[in-house]
Amino acid sequence: TLPSSVRLFEMSPRDGLQNEPGAPVPTATKIELIERLANAGMSHIEAASFVSPKWVPQMGDAGGVMAGISRRPGVVYSALTPNLKGLENALEAKADEVAVFGAASEAFSQKNINCSVSESLARFEPVLARARDAGLRVRGYVSCVLGCPYEGEISPAKVAEVAKALYDMGCYEISLGDTIGVGTPLAAKRMIDAVSREVPMECLAAHFHDTYGQALANLYAVLEEGVSVIDASTAGLGGCPYAKGASGNVATEDVLYLLKGLGIETGIDLQAVIDTGYWITAQLGRTPSSKVALAMGCQ
């Protein structure tokens, strides 16, 4: 059965822009994007990433972005923090919430964060402890839940094991990433079934990239299983720097249209998101990849 309400976690300022080729996206543009998304009714926005600027240059101005946004009451502005250094920077920048990110694939973990899966979990422990002391909630990501660019197939049991480790460590929510968008609905359903035996369904989020055009179908499959938190990126912006060829998260506009058709409320203004998608892609010299945005047009 479908959930009666769904919470969206907006990814475009972080997952959407982290892999943008060419010149750095100006800090002011990122700030305006975040403010437009908040004004459209988003309650959770991943605003920045406190990672090494040598690894991900587009996120090098994370502190400036966090300092520049005018905070809308009730909106959670989150940031990625792979280690204690990232967490300290996020605390200084007054992030409302942070996230650690691991993987269900050893090879991807090495390429993305330069350590093994078990080393990453050990590294996250002090991040969670310090965040807890500071009163911040921590989200946990698991990458490659439906396939890995280096290892190929990933077993649902491995995904469940890493998700459980993050949950047991204190992450309030586990976001399951189909990093390269290779999943299909039955595989997505089987993966969620395995993970939800270890972590409560209400603590799971679907983070699906749309590389193979399957993200909406996969989302529908996991909504039916009871998942009620969806990560999405306005205009379908994004890709992962350590997953060659991966395209953006499922477009927020497309998810909103799907949910509206299913009678599931989110409180987000679809037209305002569409307009934001046209605006940000114009800044980047493109058009939105959301089908719904193309069909409905900018106002």
Site for ligand HMG, rule CB under 6 A:
15, 18, 49-52, 55-56, 80, 82-83, 85-86, 101, 112-114, 141, 143, 177, 179, 207, 209, 240-242
Binds Mg ion (CB under 5 A): choice among 10, 15, 46, 61:
15
Supply the minimum distance, in Å, between the C-beta of residue 129 and Mg ion.
25
Bridge partners, residue 293, by sequence: none
Closer residue to Mg ion, CB minimum distance, 15 or 254: 15
* Distances, alpha carbon 248 to alpha carbons 227, 231, 237, 274, in Å: 21, 11, 5, 16
- Minimum Å distance from CB 46 to Mg ion? 10
Residue number, 77 or 242, with CB nearest to ligand HMG: 242
CB atoms within 10 A of CB 95: 27
The one-character DSSP state at 16 is: I
Among 125, 127, 123, 97, which Cα is nearest to 112's?
123
DSSP code per residue over 25-70: PPHHHHHHHHHHHHHTT-SEEEEEE-S-TTT-GGGTTHHHHHHHSP
- Return the one option of Mg ion, ligand HMG, none that residue 83 interacts with (CB less than 5 to 8 A, by type): ligand HMG
Q: What span, in angstroms and rounded, lies between the C-alpha atoms of 33 and 77?
A: 13
Nearer to ligand HMG, 142 or 274 (CB): 142
Q: Supply the minimum distance, in Å, between the C-beta of residue 299 and ligand HMG.
A: 30
Minimum distance between the CB of residue 49 and ligand HMG, rounded to whole angstroms? 6
Name the binder of 86 from Mg ion, ligand HMG, none, CB < 5-8 A by kind: ligand HMG
Q: Which does 248 bind (CB under 5 to 8 A by kind): Mg ion, ligand HMG, none?
A: none
Please list the active-site residues. Answer: 240
Task: Answer yes or no: are the C-beta atoms of 79 and 93 closer than 8 Å.
Answer: yes
Please state the separation of Cα 136 from the chain's center in Å.
18
- The answer to whether 214 and 183 have CB atoms below 8 angstroms apart is yes
Nearer to Mg ion (CB atom), residue 15 or residue 253: 15
Rounded CA separation 165/159 (Å): 10
Q: Which residues bind Mg ion (CB under 5 A)?
A: 15
